[in-house]
Amino acid sequence: MKKLKTKDNINDIWSAVTAQLRDEMSGVAFDTWIMPIVPIGITGTEIRLKVPGGLQKGSLGKSMITTKYRSLIESSLRSVTGKDLSLDVCFDEAGGSNQSGDPITYEGMLNNKYTFENFIVGNNNNLAQAASLAVAENPAGKYNPLFIYGGSGLGKTHLLQAIGNYYLTHNPGKKVLYTTSEKFTYELVNAIREKTNQEFRNRHRTVDLLLLDDVQFLSTKELAQEEFYHTFNALYEAGKQIVLTSDRLPSETPHLADRLKTRFQMGLLADIQPPDYETRLAILKSKIENEYFTFDEEIMEYVANNITSNVRDLEGALKRILAYAGIERTNTISMELAQKALKEILSTLPQRNITTAVIIDEVEKYYRLPKGSLITKKRSSDIAYPRHIAMYISRVILDESYAKIGEDFRRDHSTVMNAVKKMKKLVTENPELQDSIKELVANIKRD
Ligand code: ADP
Ligand code: MG
């Protein structure tokens, strides 16, 4: 079991601890008390934590940590580092002026687990990632606003927060506000009720970087749209950067006021697509780097092949496997364990009904062959080779008899048998072919 050593980066240790605490505490308690903590120093016996001051928190946060959550945090530190570390909690009196140069979070809303370093870049997200980094390095430059859109669990919040974290680290003392359109609306309504509109306005209009998550939820709320329109203009005119995320394009967001659509489209629209096989595998590998378990490549491939929807589901699958390993008190993950852990999730995912017809279709698409070419009599190698691959895949994933496969490919049983035998040998010798087959199988299984 790999334990993090105290010489490992303090941020790694703290993120492993917070990951554990996140599972053990209620979401609200975690967000309120643990998320704002900034680890600032570590020795062999002690870890020093800073509770950002300001607003409601400050001394209350410190006492919550030194009393109510102390033993929970200490036991998590023990399991992460293998050492008994005591807590030294200080309260950041400066409340945001950040003299120490440590990353601080304005209002404690940024989570330091979201960084560019741990964001895996693939073909699916490279534009959004590059634009995010450009904005973090050089705010209010070319891309203002930056509008990141894509399906759920694909990394929008991660990138948004990475921008904030990066910017704060390089520009200590600047003001970053991360909020969601839900929170924006809710606080606006409160401000109106409590007659604190001016405060609300100041808080949103005096920041250097505004990160607004899930802007699609602003769309049904006229009052919030109106207020946000003015917030946007005030910041934009003051040369401040705005970054927005949504699950869809502005133009495809019903009930979003035209003037907001226009503004959201003024900068750069960057999409995030679901990750392909290679990216899924790379993400899985990066996620287990900080775990105490070792996984065989084969198990990573199994997960990457079967969980194709989004990164959140990939992480969920990994968590399940780790939880199963915990239950079975083992730190070697076997394929059997992985399959058992994922059985339930996989059965709830839409499963495609795989037939030889589906396989033929996908192989033809993959090799850019005209539809139906694999079942013609043609024997030229540009067709025979993919045909053999399709036969091999049919045999391996459908476990169909040679006779039945022969029928579907309009070949006799011994032709299929020979082809499968030949492919088996080739596959073991040729890593490139292995990759193609993995990708094909993923395509075949994808709905
Ligand atoms: P969204 O906001 O688009 O619904 P999130 O940003 O919350 O998605 O991402 C879901 C989870 O997947 C988060 O834990 C995030 O860290 C992780 N994640 C998403 N994309 C990547 C990536 N490219 N590399 C590493 N982790 C990722
Ligand atoms: Mg999100």
Cβ–ligand 1 distance for 312 under 6 Å, the answer: yes
What one-character DSSP code corresponds to residue 250?
G
For the chain, how many structural domains are there in total? Answer: 4
Task: Say if 408 falls within a structural domain.
Answer: yes
**Three-class DSSP category at 167:** helix
Give 217-229 as a DSSP string.
GGTT-HHHHHHHH
Task: Say if 183 falls within a structural domain.
Answer: yes
The ligand that comes nearest to the alpha carbon of residue 213 is 2
**Same-domain pairing of 268 and 245:** yes
Q: What is the pTM of this model?
A: 0.62
Nearest CA to ligand 1 atom 21: 155
Task: Say if 5 falls within a structural domain.
Answer: no
The ligand that comes nearest to the alpha carbon of residue 311 is 1
Tell which residue, 114, 87, 88, has the closest CA to residue 103. 114
**Same-domain pairing of 197 and 151:** yes
Pairing status of strand 241-246 against strand 209-213: parallel
Q: How far apart are CA 18 and CA 20, in angstroms?
A: 5
Pairing status of strand 268-272 against strand 176-180: unpaired
Q: What is the atom index within ligand 1 of the atom nearest the CA of 125?
A: 23
Pairing status of strand 146-150 against strand 241-246: parallel
Q: How far is the CA of 76 from the centre of ligand 2 (A)?
A: 27
What is the per-residue pLDDT for 293?
Answer: 80
What is the per-residue pLDDT for 57?
Answer: 45
What is the per-residue pLDDT for 282?
Answer: 96
What is the per-residue pLDDT for 197?
Answer: 95
Tell which residue, 321, 292, 293, 291, has the closest CA to residue 306. 321
CATH code: domain of residue 339: 1.10.8.60
Q: What is the atom index within ligand 1 of the atom nearest the CA of 160?
A: 6
**Same-domain pairing of 41 and 130:** no
CATH code: domain of residue 31: 3.30.300.180
Cβ–ligand 1 distance for 156 under 6 Å, the answer: yes
231, 205 contact by CB (below 8 A): yes
The ligand that comes nearest to the alpha carbon of residue 148 is 1
Task: Say if 321 falls within a structural domain.
Answer: yes
Q: What is the atom index within ligand 1 of the atom nearest the CA of 121?
A: 23
The ligand that comes nearest to the alpha carbon of residue 276 is 1
**Same-domain pairing of 119 and 192:** yes
235, 210 contact by CB (below 8 A): yes
Cβ–ligand 1 distance for 158 under 6 Å, the answer: yes
Nearest CA to ligand 1 atom 19: 155
Task: Say if 3 falls within a structural domain.
Answer: no
**Same-domain pairing of 16 and 134:** no
**Same-domain pairing of 63 and 128:** no
Task: Say if 435 falls within a structural domain.
Answer: yes
427, 392 contact by CB (below 8 A): yes
What is the per-residue pLDDT for 100?
Answer: 35
What are the pLDDT digits (tens) for 367-396?
Answer: 999 999 999 988 888 999 999 999 999 988
What is the per-residue pLDDT for 12?
Answer: 79
Cβ–ligand 1 distance for 316 under 6 Å, the answer: no
The residue out of 27, 61, 95 marking a domain boundary is 95
Cβ–ligand 1 distance for 152 under 6 Å, the answer: yes
Torsion of CA 179, 183, 187, 188, to 10 degrees: 90
Query: Across the chain, which distance is largest between two alpha carbons, in Å?
Result: 83
Task: Say if 289 falls within a structural domain.
Answer: yes
Cβ–ligand 1 distance for 157 under 6 Å, the answer: yes
Cβ–ligand 1 distance for 119 under 6 Å, the answer: yes
444, 398 contact by CB (below 8 A): no
The residue out of 242, 272, 302 marking a domain boundary is 272
What are the pLDDT digits (tens) for 231-252?
Answer: 999 999 999 999 999 999 999 9
Q: What is the atom index within ligand 1 of the atom nearest the CA of 286?
A: 25
Helices (H), 145-211: 156-170, 181-193, 197-205
Domain span including residue 368 = 356-445
**Same-domain pairing of 252 and 284:** no
Tell which residue, 221, 222, 177, 173, has the closest CA to residue 202. 177
Q: What is the atom index within ligand 1 of the atom nearest the CA of 272?
A: 3
Per residue of the chain (447 residues), give pLDDT as tens. 345 554 467 877 888 888 888 888 776 677 777 887 888 877 778 888 887 654 334 556 676 777 778 888 988 888 888 888 888 887 665 443 333 333 334 444 789 889 999 999 999 999 999 999 999 999 999 999 999 999 999 999 999 999 999 999 999 889 999 999 989 999 999 999 999 999 999 999 999 999 999 999 997 788 999 999 999 999 999 999 999 999 999 999 989 999 999 999 999 999 999 999 999 999 999 998 867 787 888 999 999 999 999 999 999 999 899 888 888 888 889 999 999 999 877 876 555 678 899 999 999 999 999 999 999 988 888 999 999 999 999 988 877 888 889 999 999 999 999 999 999 999 888 888 888 898 898 888 776
Task: Say if 240 falls within a structural domain.
Answer: yes
36, 57 contact by CB (below 8 A): yes
**Same-domain pairing of 312 and 409:** no
What are the pLDDT digits (tens) for 415-426?
Answer: 999 999 999 999
What one-character DSSP code corresponds to residue 395?
I
Nearest CA to ligand 1 atom 23: 120
Answer left, alpha or beta for residue 82, where phi above 0 means left and psi between -120 and 50 means alpha.
Answer: left
**Same-domain pairing of 303 and 181:** no
**Same-domain pairing of 225 and 76:** no
**Same-domain pairing of 169 and 267:** yes
CA 285-288-289 angle, 5° bins: 85
The residue out of 207, 240, 272 marking a domain boundary is 272
**Same-domain pairing of 111 and 16:** no
Cβ–ligand 1 distance for 279 under 6 Å, the answer: no
